Amino acid sequence: MDRRPTIIDVARKAGVSKSTVSLVLQNSTLVKEETRAEIRKVMAEIGYVYNRVAANMRSSNAGLIGLVINDLRNPFFTEFATSVQMTLSARGYATVLANTNEDPDLQAQVVSAMIEHGVTALMISPTYGNEAASFDPIARAGIPTLQVLRKVVSDGRQFPFAAPDYEEGGRLAAEHLLSLGAHQIAFIGGFQGRDVTKKRMKGYLSVLGHAGIEPLILPGRPTRAFGREIARSLAQDYPDVGAVICFSDLVALGVLSGCAEIGRRLGIELKVVGFDDIEDCAQVWPSLTSVRCDIAGFGRRMAEILLEWVELGRAPPEETTTPVELIVRASTSPKAIA
């Protein structure tokens, strides 16, 4: 193919100046309707395509948003990223996406790359560790950046944060199990000391505290494999524990597999609550009770918040918390199974 046609080619063919063509591109009412139609016709004829990059150089509104995700293979983050990307797309923005795989160095690298590419704003579900390597360059470049799902930088003025109400989720889960008559309720999975774990655990701890029940915390990787392992050790080492709250649905799904493996009946011998309510929860059998974070809705909302920031200059509050709800399914209601 030859060189792509430019506004100069269009202008020449249409017999106007390139400024006029530029105005048409911007749908300006300064140009007579007739002329506009004529110029558009010429564009179609010669196959003109708008060079947004060049336009951006002068006016600097790239229409490019960077989305950085710590673990894109995890369905929870996939759902989130997809939702953000599609919302941005509907609003005329393209998304440059990168998975950091929980690697702080990789994160720093992709963040720099995005800055070089001139992203208008960033949304980041960050990984833990070496936060400065990623966030200092962003701060220097002065790019509006939203921390989501995990808070790793405490300066909420510069890097506003948003997440579902994890603490309330932990509370709802614990209250639900308590109302079902559970006497011993364990919290399983999740790395100790991390913000998300602490929040989810806090709700659980406060409910148990009020009820005068001794908590049991079994931390671990937030994976199916861990859930599967813990299902076995729960049966062996903690036979009296009749209910568990899982750090995430992945852990809960692992528990489901583990229980199937050892023949322990979910909902009857062991009640299980997941966290996040990813799609799988409703699809597996027995279906999983879970704390719904409405991650798709959360993604849409985050996209909108970010665009409001870049388009209207309206910075989000330092911290945004979105509501959660408990979705009760078979894994905590034996009748649904029978």
Q: 198-217 burial, b if ≥16 CB within 10 A, otherwise e? A: bbbbebbbebbeeeeeeebe
Q: Which does 32 bind (CB under 5 to 8 A by kind): DNA, a copy of itself, none?
A: DNA
1, 45, 59, 302: which one binds DNA (CB under 7 A): 59
Q: Which does 184 bind (CB under 5 to 8 A by kind): DNA, a copy of itself, none?
A: none
Handedness of CA 198, 326, 72, 257 (dihedral sign): positive
Smallest distance from a copy of itself to CB 245, Å:
21
* Burial environment of residue 315 by CB neighbours within 10 A (0 to 12, 13 to 18, 19 or more): middle
Q: Which residues contact 36 (CB under 8 A, 6 or more apart)?
A: 24
- The total of other beta-carbon atoms located within 10 Å of residue 49's CB is 9
* Residue 225 CB coordination number (10 Å): 14
Total number of residues that touch DNA (CB under 7 A): 29
User: Coil, helix or strand for 126?
Assistant: coil
Rounded to the nearest whole angstrom, what is the least distance from the CB of residue 118 to a copy of itself in the complex?
Answer: 4
- What single DSSP character describes residue 149? S
Question: Which position among 16, 114, 234, 243 is part of the footprint of a copy of itself (CB under 8 A)?
Answer: 114
Q: Binding partner of residue 332 among a copy of itself, DNA, none, CB under 5 to 8 Å per kind?
A: none
Q: Which of 260, 200, 197 lies closest to 231 in space, CA to CA? A: 260
| 75 is a site residue for a copy of itself (CB under 8 A) | yes
* Choice between 42 and 148, CB closer to DNA: 42
Binding residues vs DNA (CB under 7 A):
3-4, 6-8, 15-20, 22-23, 25-26, 29-33, 35, 48, 50-51, 54-55, 57-59
Binding residues vs a copy of itself (CB under 8 A):
1, 4, 47, 49-54, 56-57, 62-64, 72-73, 75, 78-79, 81-82, 85-86, 89, 92, 94-99, 101, 106, 109-110, 112-118, 137, 140-142, 224-225, 228, 253-254, 257-258, 260-261, 279-280, 283-286
